[in-house]
Structure 1
């Protein structure tokens, strides 16, 4: 595809996902549209010379506003009918991390995680996370306002969202946001806000965001495994897709579980893989004329 140079003059890349799960036919169009809208929001930041951190936050906020996805509005109620959300964001340039867990009554957990990036604590939980959100001027709401009509009626299953970006200055960032599992035990926290498990970004290694069965991902520290494979590739993991595939296969063999991941390397290669039926994604680089939008890796391979 023809190159397209952004205003800052450097190479940029961005990829978002809408969760590793089975997408029913009636949700396919909404899943594609939601991922594309989020990717476009992040792309605009990057095209204007903005940072990878800003692009990731912008994309995640779009996904948090879309009830198609399990993050922000559309989060999954737990076993007592309440919403507890997790989010994490990492700056690959500074290795700063901001994460929140068990957050209640906040419209955009990703923005709270970003506000925590430059603070001393890596993670805040529960009431302390909400108090921090209030201090930062985050948009607060009633807990019930985050449960979409579809979730209220059917406890629909959909998954964590995530974004990875590379900006024109060569900096990477990764972020996640989730409303948890439908009917989960109150206080349960999965991989999403745990650096090295659900996400990680390092300008020297790459940036990655995970989605899927959080306990399996956390037990295997899959984000860290992926970046180690990128740094020291095995014969089977010589590409970003290969590294993701090897890490997810190892996880499935050792502890089981469905999952998916997105990654960008320091030189701007984009990769994604999943062992679930679907994983909606949208991605674009400054060298692509238009975004790629797919519901599964098989669909992308068929097009190519």
Structure 2
């Protein structure tokens, strides 16, 4: 059961990838702005799901990141986005995949939480969005030319609210040059994210096929049942080594303890809590935990 002692916490990520030094400030600032947006909701007594949605929307709006506006192009030169959100209280999940006209995929995923389909793809997801008053856009509106490659990064957020409820969210534009219709780990519970009030919440970034093959989010949650966040991350990373994958992982456990780690060059992250202001980083060794 939740055991956070009346505190809130939130952590966001902007993707695990090699980030050119000239872009470090932009990644830090984008993650910081997203964390502050989500933290403002939690500090005011808002719920974890809303904080996650708002934080991820901020990242989808920022063309620095491979999600929403600024997503990478697939093999056909088009943007196809995936996103999901999960409620740790009810274990409800909503996800969308291979969507081309959704301004904020994370918000459509949240609108699916009370519905029977857990995951909708392509035209089905876009029809759902239209029927539920979600914001649509022209595919060209999501295209932004960027000099720095974005690879396979994903954005995400996990949060714990004052009521002890946890939530996790992810959003991505997928892999540069990937096959049309390709779906990665981001919208799949147990692969790209998971949230359970009895344990914790996690969101991942990395090469999706490796995260799916190892069901890495599920392994991280299982490790978190017995270990503190940093130790659980090490355990999950060890399982990823079997397939030679790279990833970045963010965690909040049911006690409100934050953890994050990565086995690639950089991982843009920002975190905040009821007793700590928001801070942003582009690598784990920058974070002294204070």
TM-score range, shorter chain: over 0.9
Q: Specify every segment of 5 or more residues in structure 1 that has no aligned partner in the other structure, as ranges.
A: 1-8, 233-237
Alignment partner, residue 245 of structure 1: 234
- Displacement after TM superposition at 1:239 (Å): 2.1
Query: Residues 275-290 of structure 1: matches in 2 within 5 Å?
Result: 275-288=263-276, 290=277
Instruction: Pick closer, same or farther for the CA change 1:156–1:207 going to 2, 3 Å.
Output: closer
- Displacement after TM superposition at 1:158 (Å): 5.6
- With normalisation by structure 1, the TM-score equals 0.91
Mapped partners of 1:190, 1:104: distance in 2: 15
- Displacement after TM superposition at 1:155 (Å): 5.4
Partner SS, residue 31 of structure 1: helix
**Cα pair 1:77 1:155 within 8 Å, conserved:** no
Q: Show CA shifts across 1:40-81 (max 9, x none).
A: 010011011110000000000000000000000010100000
Query: Residues 124-139 of structure 1: matches in 2 within 5 Å?
Result: 124-139=120-135
Q: Specify every segment of 5 or more residues in structure 2 that has no aligned partner in the other structure, as ranges.
A: none
Instruction: Pick closer, same or farther for the CA change 1:281–1:154 going to 2, 3 Å.
Output: closer
Match of 2:167 among 165, 169, 173: 173
CA RMSD after TM alignment: 1.4
Alignment partner, residue 293 of structure 1: 280
Mapped partners of 1:32, 1:39: distance in 2: 10
**Cα pair 2:69 2:144 within 8 Å, conserved:** yes
**Cα pair 2:152 2:174 within 8 Å, conserved:** no
Mapped partners of 2:123, 2:136: distance in 1: 13
Alignment partner, residue 116 of structure 1: 112
Query: 2:214 aligned with 1:220, yes or no?
Result: yes
**Cα pair 1:248 1:260 within 8 Å, conserved:** no
Mapped partners of 1:287, 1:186: distance in 2: 45
Instruction: Pick closer, same or farther for the CA change 1:278–1:127 going to 2, 3 Å.
Output: same
Equivalent residue pairs, number? 286
- Displacement after TM superposition at 1:149 (Å): 2.1
- Displacement after TM superposition at 1:171 (Å): 0.1
Alignment partner, residue 3 of structure 1: none
